[in-house]
Amino acid sequence: MPRKIVERPQPIEYLSILDWTGKVDRKLEPDIPEETLKTIYRAMLFCRLFDERTLQLQRQGRIGTFAPIKGQEAAQVAAVVQLKPTDWFIPSFRETAAQIYRGLTPQDVWLFYAGYNEGVRVPDDKHDLPLCVPVASQCQHAVGIAYASKYKGTDEVTMVFHGDGATSEGDFHEAMNFAGVYQLPVIFVCQNNQWAISIPRERQTRSKTIAQKAIAYGFGGIQVDGNDPLAVYVAAREAIERARSESMPTLIECVTYRLGVHTTADDPKRYRRDEEVKEWEKKDPIPRFEKYLKAKGVMTDEDFAGLREEIRDELKRAWKETEAKIREFEAGSPDVIFDHIYAVEPPELAEQRAYFLERIKREGRPDA
């Protein structure tokens, strides 16, 4: 019986076009229309300022815990900007930038983090799913949707986001296997932000890259500089074309960094060094993209400053509207928490509702 090599390792491509100093590789630079470049930049900046405002609101006790996105704007916006409205977008819990680009409003996000489910309701005509907190479970949803799209013969593409920690979960591997076996039009976008809460990337997997995990499942993977919007744009464009025309999946590993906390309940100083954060701050995608746009003559310093003021004003108005909506909800009946659980309310739940209302009547509302 022979001992022989049956398969040699397949190389994994790494793509970077715009370095952290703003210098672009002209040979690799994609031909992106100026309006699209401005759209990407505005969406990235909007979500950076939205993130900062949301952190202030959380620290003031006006909303609950949330997962900031600071540093990961390029990996999200540049990936979804080429999806059609009819394509499917499946987020985890840190894709606020991509969610807002796809149509969610700041008011929606704030309402959700203030405790109201109304904030995550997706309009019936949208092909987006609400955020998903159980790690990697959204990958299963994505391949199911992609399978349905292929079965029905549509040209819809599904893009699902997850973190590097999700690649340690069974749901991720089951979804990848299903996508490979059935050759589904699905794109897995891994935001490898180096930390799965307090566990560093090197303790997540012995694989040299996350992208190479796709090889085991029979399709392609690519690793890109996730803080480089041009590289993410090119990788997403190629993956979308492959999914739409060949019905083949792709795994895109965006190498990025979580500049802030995992969630607002987390203290990263307990497990990572300030020096590491400072090194990654030099690679921040927003100033890097600003240098590129300025050198290309697409935007000026005055444009950047004006846009920041415009967005801050927009966010002020949005929070006033959110506060008004919260007051409206609080003025309603508190037994709304029993609604929408069953189509026909069972007797034990009706009993609990009656007890709850009687107690409120006897003791008053906690917030009164």
- Residues noted as catalytic: 258, 262, 271
- List the one residue out of 232, 228, 224, 217 whose CA is nearest residue 83: 232
Nearest to 247, CA basis, from 146, 344, 160? 146
Q: Report CA torsion sign: 212, 98, 131, 344.
A: negative
CB 284 within 8 Å of CB 227: yes
| Distance (Å, whole) CA 143 – CA 367 | 43
- Residue 138's Cβ-side half-sphere holds a number of Cα atoms within 13 Å equal to 27
Radius of gyration of the chain (CA): 22
**Can you say how many angstroms the Cα of residue 362 is from the centroid of all Cα atoms in its chain?**
45
Paired sense of beta strands 195-196 and 199-200, if any = antiparallel
Q: Checking DSSP bridges between strand 88-90 and strand 13-15, what pairing results, if any?
A: unpaired
List the beta bridge partners of residue 95.
none
DSSP 9: P
Structure tokens at 313: 């004003």
Q: How far is Cα 65 from Cα 114, in angstroms, rounded to an integer?
A: 9
**Closest to 89 measured CA to CA, from 168, 207, 189:** 189
Report CA torsion sign: 102, 170, 149, 180.
positive
Q: Give residue 159's Cα distance to chain centre.
A: 10
